[in-house]
Amino acid sequence: MNKQQFTLVAWDPRGYGKSIPPLRDFPEDFFERDAKDAVDLMQALKFKKFSLLGWSDGGITALIAAARNPTLIHKMVVWGANPSVSEEDVKLYNAIRDVSKWSERARQPMEEMYGHDYFSKTCAAWVDGISQFAQKPNGSICQSLLPHIHCPTLIIHGEKDPLVPRFHPEYLHKHIKGSQLHLMPEGKHNLHLRFADEFNRVVEKFLL
């Protein structure tokens, strides 16, 4: 992205990347915890107002942060995010539980960063952690918070995303007032990496 026009702050939630220790865990409120950590970090860095870009779990975190802190968030972009967990989703998650079945291309960078044991255990724990929401009414993670999001919001969805069915971005679009939905026909879950030029162009235009 254009660093003359934007200040980019990338952070590792606790238990990920360089935010270890502590080890990653998935209590019932882990998304709420991550959202609070993100906002606390930006305030510690003296940002009075800022935009959020969130992918996958980071997108869920961004949705919660925007709903909980409407006066702090300028704009928001989310992709690969789901506000609830269905039985269909749980099947998709369990299909990636065993990291030994991942392609080498997907697995190798994770194992280089975390080591096989930590990566393997954390992935399995994540599957259990996110699947717990399927037991809640409507499988909700943050559905009730969506009407409290008032910032301009762009939802991007890759139509070939194997982890996030299309009904999730459509639900977000319907329940976040004034939001925009941008579909990428060939995009998968990592659309921002695979189609970086298009992604950056769409996001920059929205943010400016």
Residue numbers annotated as active site: 56, 161, 189
Residue with tokens 């019932």: 28
141 in Cβ contact with 59 (< 8 Å): no
Instruction: Please give the C-alpha separations between residue 52 and each of 44, 63, 89, 154, in angstroms, as whole numbers.
Output: 16, 9, 25, 10
Structure tokens at 96: 């990636």
193 in Cβ contact with 200 (< 8 Å): no
As to burial, measured by CB atoms within 10 angstroms (0-12 exposed, 13-18 middle, 19+ buried), residue 59 is buried
Q: Round to whole Å and give the CA distance between 81 and 57.
A: 6
Nearest CA to 73 out of 145, 150, 142 is that of 150
Which DSSP string do the residues of 33-97 spell out, in sequence order? Answer: HHHHHHHHHHHHTT-SSEEEEEETHHHHHHHHHHHH-TTTEEEEEEES--SB--HHHHHHHHTTS
